[in-house]
Structure 1
Amino acid sequence: MHPVLDDLLGDIGDLSVQILFTASTDHKDERAKPVKHLLAIYEANNEELTKDSLGDWYSASEKNYGLFAEKYKVDGDLNNQTEKVDKMHDWCKKMNIEFTPTIFFNGYQLPETYNITDIEYFLKS
């Protein structure tokens, strides 16, 4: 999904994408650390680094948080991202988002009959 979104962002100048994560702050949720890390990278206001880190994380055939964290060092405590993770997790629960990626287009969930690659046709028509 990430490469498709990256291509769309490059092709369509006024397109923006919001990424929400379903991770929780439960200590058993292995998704929490990389999500907090990605949020910290984003918070540093470095668009290119954010894009690169998202691409590296989601294109990796095997997710290794230690290697990822070594490559993309962040300043500060990742626990500073806890409130954001909690808010995203709560919103996803309220909206019954149980899997990712779930795509919303102009505020509406993309129906299952469509694919992310179909969005290009909507945007260019």
Structure 2
Amino acid sequence: MNTVSVQFQELALFSFLFIGTVIAWLSLKPYFLAKKELQKQKTKLTRFLSNSETLDHFLSGSRRISNNPEGLGILLKGENAKYHVLKVCNPYCGPCANSHPILEELFATGNINLQVVFHPGGGDTIKYKTISHIMAVAAQASQEEIQKALDDWYLPEKKEYETFAAKYPMNGELKAQESRIQDMLNWCEQENISYTPTIFINGHELPKAYSIEDLKYILV
């Protein structure tokens, strides 16, 4: 075999691979730079949104509660609360269930008061019974017991009223919740609550730029 010919073929192959690599890099370089820049901007945005002063600014421009929610639903008081977080929820709402452990974790820091208001509208009998039962438990339980009951409802993947009711047996206490449930319904209608969970912080609705999970890094 001609040695010169073999060397030429190797050189040609090396040149082809080298040129191909250069062309590929030049083609992909804008993509990698753009991706790096995007990540950089995301980091800046996260840092910006995670600033409590930024949140306060956005809250000041968001919808404010018009009707006093004092006395509605369930109130858990933090040890050194700097914020009042009000969650309007539905016991059978998936996103409400997902938000529960996040807000529980935040409450455990002692930095927030957590108020849970249920939206009983829609004429769903089982939803009404579930809300009545949770409210009845809360009416006669300690704060720790209330948290446990909320965990027992929201944390299981499958929500079964009969299972919950068997764990927390009640009698006439459910009937006693009717006026409290009506008060929550009236408030939700007055505030035009159209979806759950709806979150209010110090009386202002959580801005669209924020997710509930963001609160773990801000309300500290």
Task: Name the TM-score class by shorter chain.
Answer: 0.7 to 0.9
- Tell me the SS of whatever aligns to 2:113: coil
For 1:15, the aligned partner's letter is: I
Task: State the partner residue of 1:91.
Answer: 187
Match of 2:105 in 1: 7
Aligned residues: 122
The one-letter code matched in structure 2 to 1:74 is: M
Contact 1:9 1:16 in 2 (8 A): yes
Structure 1: gaps (5+ residues): none
Supply the distance in 2 between the matched residues of 1:38 and 1:117 (Cα, whole angstroms): 24
Give the C-alpha shift of residue 51 in structure 1.
0.6
Residue 16 of structure 1, aligned match among 83, 107, 113: 113
Cα distance in 2 for residues equivalent to 1:75 and 1:46: 19
CA distance in 1 between counterparts of 2:168 and 2:105 reads: 23
Q: Report sequence identity in percent.
A: 35
Matches within 5 A, 1:92-111: 92-111=188-207
Task: Give the match's secondary structure for 1:18.
Answer: strand
Aligned amino acid, residue 102 of structure 2: V
Q: Deviations over 1:49-69 (max 9, x none)?
A: 211111121122221101100
Q: Deviations over 1:55-97 (max 9, x none)?
A: 1211222211011000122353301001111110111111111
> Does the 8 Å CA contact 1:22/1:99 hold for their aligned counterparts?
no
What is the RMSD of the two structures over their aligned residues, measured on CA atoms? 1.8
**What is the CA distance between 1:118 and its match in structure 2?**
1.8
Following the alignment from structure 1 to structure 2, what is the Cα–Cα distance between the partners of residues 100 and 113? 17
1:104·1:110 contact (CA, 8 Å) conserved in 2? yes
**Equivalent residue, structure 2, for 1:79:** 175
Q: Per-residue deviation at 1:105?
A: 0.5
Letter in structure 1 aligned against 2:196 = T
C-alpha change, 1:100 and 1:6, in structure 2 (3 Å) is same
Instruction: Identify the structure with the greater strand proportion.
Output: 2
**Residue 51 (1) aligns with residue 152 (2):** no
Amino acid at match of 1:119: L
Q: CA deviation at 1:24?
A: 3.7
For 1:16, what is the secondary structure of its paired residue? Answer: strand
Distance 2:217 2:118 in 1: 26
Based on CA coordinates, which of the two structures has the bigger radius of gyration? 2
Q: Unpaired segments of 5 or more residues in structure 2?
A: 1-98
Q: Distance in 1 between matches of 2:144 and 2:122?
A: 27
1:31-46 map, 5 Å? 31-46=127-142
Aligned to 1:61: 157
Decide whether aligned partners of structure 1 residues 105 and 3 sit closer, same or farther in structure 2, where only a CA change above 3 A counts.
same
